[in-house]
Amino acid sequence: MRIGLFGGAFDPIHIGHLIIGQFSFEKLNLDKVIFIPANVSPFKKNKESFFSPNDRFEMVKLAIEDNPNFKVSDFELSSNQISYSYITVDYFSKIYYDSEIFFIIGGDNLLNFCKWKNYEYIISKVSLIVYPRLGFELVIPNCLESYANKIFFLEVPIIDISSTMIRQRIKDGMDVKYFLPNKVYEYIKNNLNLY
């Protein structure tokens, strides 16, 4: 099997995330894409999520429930620890020991990949699917040049939507209906008293 791991805060998940998941699935001939909401990012240790871990998980679940090729895992959330990717990769590489695993990241993360804890272990276990981010050039950093055959640049429309922008619009009392899957929008509207 060919498995895609797609981690992130998903604070909240939005249509851009789903488009990246779908393009990854199609272009790399994946069998499934597993969305993995982070507990605490190593680069955002002092920053609280806008939405609670449970809400973020529920919104991912709602966003992907009608796509049989998408799954969600609470592996990082249930650990209650900092979400280091090498631990996640180790976990899933043991579960899918006979599969080829791909790790989906943005072009901004590729540039900083060599600052990730145990990055060489990660790249030894998985291939990278790298999607473009506005303002970031898609280039392989020097430290990963010997792994160039394991790095795949994803051709996907650059949709300039971010969770940060969505959170700001919510704070400003502006509608976010068209940035989110309908079920996620309804969840926010009906359960979180933000409108």
Domain around 46: 2-158
175 occurs within a structural domain: no
* Strand ranges, E, within 19-144: 32-37, 70-72, 100-106, 127-131
Q: What is the pLDDT of residue 46?
A: 54
State the pLDDT confidence band at 158, using cuts at 50, 70 and 90: confident
CATH number of the domain that 89 lies in?
3.40.50.620
Please provide the average confidence, as pLDDT, over all residues in the chain: 93
Convert the pLDDT of each residue in 160-170 to its tens digit.
899 999 999 99
180 occurs within a structural domain: no
Given a cut of 70, whether residue 173 has pLDDT beyond it is yes
Convert the pLDDT of each residue in 73-85 to its tens digit.
999 999 878 899 9
178 occurs within a structural domain: no
What single-letter DSSP state applies at residue 12? T
193 occurs within a structural domain: no
98 occurs within a structural domain: yes
Q: What is the pLDDT of residue 93?
A: 97
The domain tally of the chain equals 1
90 occurs within a structural domain: yes
pTM of the model: 0.94
